[in-house]
């Protein structure tokens, strides 16, 4: 199974995080059952990753926590994949905010030839405004290499 990339599950994003935190944890648990890598991405200056997310990966040895300065964390994710020797041809992506950090990161990853497929876990993505989430998911469906679940 592909690595799971979890974007910006930080309490700073209080309007979005409660909508999907439980679903993100379910995807983390599934990744752990499959012995897949989990890449947790956090944007600097917005606090730590939620305690519930960190507890879900506690004592799991295939976790990479990375920081990013901007919405697009694709370069940091690719660095992590390279350093940890993770197979990154296919990635599962979820997190918040769908129309900002998730979208910018997905579009950043989409540009790289080594990424063959990006699976968007839409049930584990959210925005403060639901229509922005829905519009972004619709746009994802139009791109090659992207699969929306």
Q: What is the pLDDT of residues 56-93, one digit of tens each?
A: 999 999 999 999 999 999 999 999 999 998 888 999 99
CATH number of the domain bearing residue 10: 3.40.50.850
The mean pLDDT value of the chain amounts to 92
Count: domains in the chain: 1
Please, what are the averages of pLDDT over each run of 10 residues along the chain (149 residues)? 93 79 96 97 92 95 95 94 90 94 94 92 90 90 87
**Residue 105: which domain range?**
4-148
Q: What are the DSSP E strand ranges found in 1-149?
A: 4-7, 38-43, 63-68, 90-96, 117-126, 146-148
Tokens at 122, concatenated: 């839409």
Q: Report the predicted TM-score, pTM, of the whole model to 2 decimal places.
A: 0.94
């Amino acid at each position: 199974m592909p690595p799971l990339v979890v974007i910006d599950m930080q309490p700073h994003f209080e309007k979005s995080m409660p909508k999907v935190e439980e679903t993100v944890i379910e995807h983390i648990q599934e990744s752990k059952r499959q012995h897949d890598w989990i890449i947790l991405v956090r944007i600097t200056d917005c606090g730590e990753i939620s305690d519930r997310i960190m507890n879900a990966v506690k004592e799991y040895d295939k976790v990479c926590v990375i920081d990013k300065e901007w919405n697009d964390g694709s370069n940091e994710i690719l660095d992590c994949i390279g350093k940890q020797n993770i197979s990154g041809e296919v990635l599962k992506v979820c997190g918040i905010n769908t129309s900002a950090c998730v979208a910018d990161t997905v579009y950043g990853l989409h540009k790289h030839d080594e990424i063959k497929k990006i699976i968007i876990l839409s049930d584990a993505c959210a925005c403060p405004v639901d229509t922005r989430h829905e519009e972004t998911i619709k746009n994802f469906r139009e791109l090659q290499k992207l699969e929306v679940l």
